[in-house]
Structure 1
Amino acid sequence: MDRWIFLMLACILAGFALIKVPLAGTFLAGIAPISTVVGAIAVLVFSLFLIFKGLMFLLGK
């Protein structure tokens, strides 16, 4: 398996971590909505990329 696949999976996990990180009660509480949005975008982008690459592999292109 290529190394970039593991990199994409790590990016998806990092996106989930950004979504779930508890920032309430810290000085970073103001950026909680921003970290949630960035995490959701990261999960979506990297997941769609992996799905696209998987389909391209299955179709032989």
Structure 2
Amino acid sequence: MNLRLYFAAILAGFALIGLTFAVTIMPAELATVLLIIGTIIVIIFALVIVIMALTALFGNRAKSY
């Protein structure tokens, strides 16, 4: 499990979200697209980490029954 890569992807998503607020010279359409892409990236990789944690937590218990 390479959790560092998933955390890096979440940070990259937050960087895209922050970029839309930090840079005021970009067009509004581009800022909206970057905001949507960053939000999707954060949600997807956060769900992957949660699913991996639940699998690690309940994976061994499910095999013993």
TM norm. shorter chain > 0.5: yes
Counterpart for residue 57 of structure 1: 56
In structure 2, how many angstroms separate the alpha carbons of the residues matched to 1:54 and 1:37?
26
Identity %: 33
Counterpart for residue 24 of structure 2: 24
Counterpart for residue 39 of structure 2: 40
Which entry has the higher C-alpha Rg, 1 or 2? 2
TM-score under structure 2 length normalisation: 0.79
Give unmatched runs, 5+ long, in structure 1. none
Counterpart for residue 8 of structure 1: 6
Give the 4+ runs in structure 1 shifted more than 6 A: none
TM-score under structure 1 length normalisation: 0.84
Give unmatched runs, 5+ long, in structure 2. 61-65
What do the CA deviations read for 1:4-58 (whole angstroms, capped 9, x no partner)?
Answer: 2000000000000000112311xx4341100000000000000000000000000
In structure 1, how many angstroms separate the alpha carbons of the residues matched to 2:24 and 2:13?
18
Matched residues, number: 57
